[in-house]
Structure 1
Amino acid sequence: MSTAKTVPPSFGHEAHEPTLYQARLEPYRSLDRRGFVIVMVVVAAISFVCGTAFLLMGAWPVFGVFGLDVLAIWWAFRMNFNAARAREEITVTPSLITVVKVDPAGRADEARMNPLWTRLDRETMEDYGLQRLALRSRGDVVEVGGFLHTAQREELAEGLSFALGTAKRGVVRSTP
Structure 2
Amino acid sequence: MSAHPTPPQPEPVLFEAVCTAHQSLDDRGMRAVAILVIVASAAVAILFSALGAWPVIGFTGLEVVLVLGLLSRHRRGARRAVEILALVGDRLEVRRTDARGRREELTLDPYWARVSVEERPGTVSRLVLRERRRDVEIGGLLGDAERRELAAMLSEALRRYREPVFDNPQLRE
- TM bracket (short chain): 0.7 to 0.9
Q: Does residue 1:105 correspond to 2:100, yes or no?
A: yes
Matched, 1:152 2:146: yes
TM-superposed deviation, 1:123: 1.1
2:74 corresponds, among 80, 92, 96, to 80
RMSD of Structure 2 on Structure 1 (CA): 2.5
- Given the alignment of the two structures, is residue 138 of structure 1 paired with residue 104 of structure 2, yes or no? no
Aligned residues: 161
TM superposition shift of 1:48: 1.3
C-alpha deviations, 1:125-147, integer Å up to 9, x for none? Answer: 4666x611121223333211112
Match of 1:25 among 3, 11, 19: 19
Say which is worse superposed, 60-69 or 73-82, in terms of deviation: 60-69
Q: Which residue of 2 aligns with 1:95?
A: 90
Name the CA shift for 1:78/1:173 in 2 (closer, same or farther; >3 Å). Answer: farther
Q: Is the 8 A contact 2:120 2:126 kept in 1?
A: no
Q: Counterpart of 2:163?
A: 169
Given that residues 94 and 171 in structure 1 are in contact (C-alpha distance below 8 angstroms), is that contact kept between their aligned partners in structure 2? no
Q: What is the TM-score normalised by the length of structure 1? A: 0.78
Corresponding position: 1:114 with 2:73: no
Equivalent position to 1:47, from 8, 29, 41: 41
Deviations 1:24-83 (A, max 9, x none): 111111111232123212311221132122112112343233223212321331232122
* Alpha-carbon distance in 2 for matches of 1:124, 1:76: 33
The one-letter code of the counterpart of 1:70 is V
Aligned residue identity for 2:33:
V
TM-score by length of 2: 0.79
Conserved? CA contact 2:21–2:82, under 8 Å = yes
Give percent identity, aligned residues only: 33
**Contact in 2 for aligned 1:123/1:133 (Cα 8 Å):** yes
User: Alignment partner of 2:119: what SS?
Assistant: strand
Q: 1:36 aligns with which of 12, 15, 30?
A: 30
Give 1:65's aligned residue. Answer: 59
